[in-house]
Every structure is written in structure tokens, then in C-alpha cells.
Structure 1
Amino acid sequence: MTRKFFGTDGIRGRTNKDVMTSAVAMRVGQAAGAHFERGTHRHRVVIGKDTRLSGYMMESALVAGFTSVGMDVIMTGPLPTPAIAMLTREMRADLGVMISASHNRFEDNGIKLFGPDGFKLSDEDELAIEARLDQEPVLADASDIGRARRIDDAQGRYIHAAKQSISSDVRLDGLKVVVDCAHGAAYQVAPAVIWELGAEVISLGVTPNGTNINDGVGSTALDAIKAKVIETGAHIGIALDGDADRLIVVDEKGQTVDGDQIMALIATRMAEKGQLTGGGVVATVMSNLGLERYLESQGLTLERTKVGDRYVLERMKEGGFNVGGEQSGHMILMDYGTTGDGTVAALRVLSSLVQSDKPASKLLHLFDPVPQLLKNVRYEGGAPLENAAVKQAIADAEAELEGAGRLVIRASGTEPLIRVMAEGDDAAQVERVVDAVCDAVRAAA
């Protein structure tokens, strides 16, 4: 079945366009509600959101959809995506919903769905919901319409859970930490977690107004946090994205520390303590070859999946791994959650920092990444990767890199982009093959 609504991370698009309208959101609520109405208990869904202006509209539409098919709704207000996954399990809900377009600008929004186990939905569940979206919903009788309520303690529940992810004897006293919340979902909880553990917190990106999410702040716009770390003499900077499932770190020198280095640190520390399971780390095809070489030097493995944290999670579950993630900053620590959690990953980094005698620039530089280049080519329609000239350009690039590097070509699951990535020991060669493929895609687009 061809997917019309679901991409690699739920449903996402420009607000009030195509799939991201209130009408579609209501249908999603009806379809997902009907799909998860199993058993005779009173059915329940937890709905959270980030700080986008359109979040109110999408929340109201989803509530209408779920209640119309007889499902009760619990609304949390702005909370990180991992908090919604946690609360879905904790509150014995049948379904969890996060309204967010993650690191995208405010004009976009999205709907992420979690099953009762707190994990993102399987392909089978998504396809079943897609099929129901084309069917007339079976509406509940008037006496069976669902009820909706907001809960006031959701933030406190998440803050408590996040702090439980590190040892109770760890304090962050003496650390000065810049925490950039991207004007997003973690703007209250992330600074609170780190402050409660004793650190001096300098907050950034914590004044959302509905339209400034990810605007010049957060894990995809690091200039502001780099400047603030240098200006304040902070020991480290923590940058989250709009829904706080990603983490990028800035060291005391203002240098970027990506997800590969963070995974290397977390996995190494856990392996030293006998806490790492699966014998290594799960990451995607985008992770740097330097990470793979470093893990091998430590007697650990790197298993690669397709891009998308859902695929990382699937492999982690299959292989019994408890650490996985993406170079872009999704950090999945299976012992503490069922999806990426930037705040929890940040606490692992901060814990390691206070327990070492090293500055962040030393602690978080465990390997030298090989030259890697990623470029995006936007297209208006069609299927550029099916073009004969593009296929030939890709084949030529792969032949040139054979034995000396890697080439990864993929279509974005959330935007009309072709992503072209190459890496290898020869930076000039890497740039040459990436440009050749990009030129071919542009010509075909």
C-alpha cells in the first residue's frame, strides 16, 4: 500500500496544506482511535505538543476525532516527545500523540503516534490507520462520546523520571551550563532538570511565542549557543530541538559535538561499567566512519540502519542493544526510555563531565571524524533518483569511492529533498563526488 500520510517520522507537512490540516487531524484521531480500541476497558489517549502556533488547532482537532469515536483524552500541554512516550505507558493509555514537526520551522507541524508500550508505531499499525483514513468512521453513541481533560502535573512527572536516569549520588554542583531549548517543548522542563541537580543554568530559547520555535536557536542553529558559552565562560552547552528528542553539545571552546561523539562517550562509559548490552551501538548509515573505527578499537561494534530513529529502535529491540542514535542528535537510551530523549542524554554527558578531570573539549573528542560532506538538493516533483543520468552519476561516484569511503543517497522522508552524503579519507575526493551527484539531481529535478 502506498503511503499518503505517514512518512519516516509520523505525519508532517506545512500547516493548513495537504496532510497537515485540522480536517485531516480529526480523521487521524478517529482512525487511530478506532484502530486502538481493543478490549472492553475505557480507552484513553495522551496528547502532548510543542510550542507552535498551530498546536492549539491540531490539538483541538485531534481531541474532536478521538472523543467522537469514544476515546477519552488526556492533554499535557507543551512537553518533550519522550515525555509523551513515558506518560502513555505510565497512564496505561492505549495511544500517545505528540503534535510537533521536530526541528522544522513553525509553519510546519506533525503528528507522531506511540503505541501503548510507548514505542513509535510499527509499519503495520501505520498502514492500518492509513486504510481507515479513507473509510467513514464509526461514531460513538451520544452516551459513549469520550471525555477530555488536562493534567497539571505532567511536567513534574517527566522531570522526576529524567533525574532518575542518572545515579542518585551524582550532583552537578560547580558546572555552568547553557541550555538552549529552541523555544520548543522543553523550554520549562530541561532547565529545571539540570538546575535541580545543582548546576548553574543559563537558559536560551525559553520564550516561545508560537512562531519562534527553532528560529536561530536549538540543535540546528548553533551560533547563538556557541556565542553564549564563550560569553559566559560556561563549561558546556546543551542544545535541544523543537520537541527535545535531539541533543547537540557545544564544548567550552564553542566547538560542536555531534551525535556520533556523544554516542561514543555514552557507550564507552557504559561499557566500562558493564552496563552496555548488545556488544555495541546502533546508528544509521549517516554516522561517521570515524565512529565505527573508534568503537572497533574498543572491542565494540557499530550496526547501521536506514535513516530514522524508528529503524534504529527496531534494530536495538531485535539485537538487545541499549544505546543507539543518529549523528543528528537523536540519542536513544533504552534503559530509560522508548524514544530519543535529548535531556536524558544530556544528563549522561553532564554526569561524565563532573566525574572526570577533563574539560568538555577533551572528554567529548574521542575520535577524529573522517571528512564527510552532506548536501541537499530540493526538487519540485517526480522521482529524480529514478532518472537514468542520476543513476549513472551515483554509479560513477560509488566506483570512485570503492574501498576508500562511502556514498549514501536518499530522499528525505519529511521534505522534497534528495540528500547526498559521502565520506572518506580524501576530502577533495569526497567533495568532488558529492558535487557530481548533486549536479545530476539538479539537472533531473
Structure 2
Amino acid sequence: MDMVSGLFVNTLEDALRRGAITEKMIDDACRRVLRAKQQLGLFDNPYKYCNRERVKNDIFNTAHREVARQIATETFVLLKNQDELLPLKQKGKIALIGPLADAGNNMCGCWSMLCNDQLHKSLLQAMRETVDGSAEILYAQGCNIYYDETVQQNAMGLRPIGRGDDSRLHREALEVAAKADVIVAAMGECADMSGESASRADITIPDTQRDLLRKLVATGKPVVLLLFTGRPLVLDWESDHIPAILNVWFGGSEAGEAIADVIFGKKNPSGKLTVTFPRAVGQIPVYYNHLMSSHPDPQDGVFNRYCSNYIDISNEPLYPFGYGLSYTTFKYGAVEMEGNEVCVNITNTGTVEGTEIAQLYIRDKVAQIARPVKELKAYQRITLKPGETQQITFSITPDILGYYNANSDYVCDSGIFEIMVGPDSRMLQTLEYVFNQ
């Protein structure tokens, strides 16, 4: 099969004419594609999932969308929540500011070309429906995506967001912010800045948005950043100056309602990062499961010449793989080994019910080929009421300890392993485990 490149369309007929290929070769290739479609049942039901009556069905419109809404809430990652600013109370005046605040066409993210924004709500609509008059939602677009109109046009793709004069938009945003008790900034990347053919050289929040954020913080009002993004961004300034940051990615058709559910506390965020957020672009590539350096840094945060570290920043990422906060807090007890099982008690030490994702990492200290300093091998998702404690257990098996060697054989070496358990790839308790074949 050929997708988009035009190779077959532009060259196949000529290749056949020159005798470089035969008609039988074309028939065989087509037959393989048709056979796959037949096995998928597409000849029996060629318009599977496109039935208009099915779309109109109440189950599809209601129950399915409710599931999508719940799933979206579970993907959001709470990166920072200073002084428990979130969840917001449904009272007073809340300023919702940013180019993604009322952009329903961007909620579904990239690769959703047929997304119909008439069938779902923008964040502004969802927040106003959620508070239902108990609080006043003030709104201002605040800024463009970029100062530069050409760069913004390149970023927009199929989902345009109206442009205005940035000076005027900033001024309107500050006027709205002055009337509010708390500011919610819906900013970051628009949908088509992610996905295919959407690379960025600068992965900070785009220029005019970041400038507006600085002005909003300077008002002295508490600021919540709702971060829309499809990639890790450099959030060094934001992490230092904004009290609450919720990464909402692109939550799909039900994103508006899902975000409102979380910021007003109807749902407790439980998502964890599946990627590492760097402190600076110069750290990239940065990932938790790297190989050991020949000159490891003995003391992170202090420059050690001739070691693998930076002169100007820490080696540690801003937010590590597996990281994510909750509206409650969890305490991990001592990790213990019982035979080939790892056990740990986890307690909800906060005041609301919450879900924690406990993570198991391993390190093979001596192997036939170099192994990463840690590898995620298992995780468990548990929901605990305030004060509740639950023990979780991970079984250490050869499948977990093994790897593919230079011959592509899956092997497990005898020897010493480090077993690590914790809430993310940085906050880990470590035990040694000896495995014998």
C-alpha cells in the first residue's frame, strides 16, 4: 500500500511499460490488500461505524460520550498545585483568558479532520454550564497563538482561531483579569501544532501567550494554567511563577466538560506523564531510561567538571516520566521483598478520594549488553478513600527481568537487579534482588 507519497500513482504505469514489474506483481499486491479487507469484514459491512442511524442512537450520543468524558479526565496531568489552588470553588468571578478558551474546533486535537465543533462544547461554554450561575465566568481571548501572522497560519492547519491586534487583546485580558478573583489561562499549542509535519524548533509556550502570562501573573491574582499541548514543553518560567498548572493535552470531543469537571473538583486528576518534560531545549534528548554514562554526575545541582552534567542547569528534568499530582496526597510505606514479590502499603493521607498509579522499575546491573539505568516494567492503579491504606504487590518474574540480546533472543541473566517502586521515575525506593536461573 502507498499512502500520500505518490510513488505508485506517478511511477507504476511507467514501470509496467518498461518491464520493471509485471501485471501479476500488481495483481498479487492488490490481492493482499483485498484479502486483509475481507478478513476485517469490510466487504460484508463496508461502511462500518459510518451508519447514520447508529450515530443518531441515544447510546452512541449519551453513554459513549460519557465514557469519553471520563477517559479525558483521567488523561489530564496535574503538574503543580501550590497552596491547593485547585480545585476552584464555584463562586465569585473567574476570568477565563486565552486563545484556546473558546476554540471548540481545537478540543479534539490533531488527526480529527472530521471533528464537528457544533457537536461539542468549547471550554468557555462548558465552564459556564458547570457553574450554572453560582459563579460568573468572565472571558477574553487575550492574545493570538503567535505574534507573527505567518507563523500562526502555519500552525493553524484545518482549525483556525481568529486573530486580533495583540496590544488590544492583551489590554482586554488585563481589564477582565482586574475584575476577577482568580484567572484561568487556556494557553499552549493549537491542535495542528502536533502530529504529522508539525515540528517546532522552540518548544516554549508561544511568544505572545507567554508575554500575556507574565502580565497576568504580575496582577497578583492567583493564576491557573490550563496547558494544551501534544508534546512536552519547556515550562521553566511557568513552573517557577504560576501556582497551578494542569496539562490537559487535547481531550477529545468531551474535553470542555472534562476540564470543567477537574478544575471544579467533580473529578480528581490521576494522570501521569508518559513523556519527560525538559528544563531547557538543550537537554533534549532527555528520557528516564537512558544508559549509564561513562562519567556519571556524582552530585546533581553542583557542577562537576569532566562529568556528564551541565554548567548552567541540573541534569534532572523539570517533570519526570511517570509524574503527576492529585488533589489528595499519598504516602508510600517501606518497600519489602517477600520471595519474588515486592509489597508496599499506600495510604491516602489527604482529605478527598483519589487514584494513585504505583510504578515498578528495574535495573539489570550486569548484563550481556548495556541496560538502562531504570525501566518501567509494571504499574497498578488504585483508588483510596481519605485515610485508607491498601497493599499492592508486584511479582518479579523472568519476563520482567529479561531483555533482547544482540541476537534478538529474549534472555534473562542471573545476577543482581535493582527493584524500584514509587509514584514516578524519580521518587523511588530501591531494593536489591538476586535472580538465579
User: Which is greater in Rg?
Assistant: 2
TM-score range, shorter chain: under 0.3
Q: Which has the higher helix share?
A: 1
TM-score, normalised by the number of residues in structure 1: 0.25
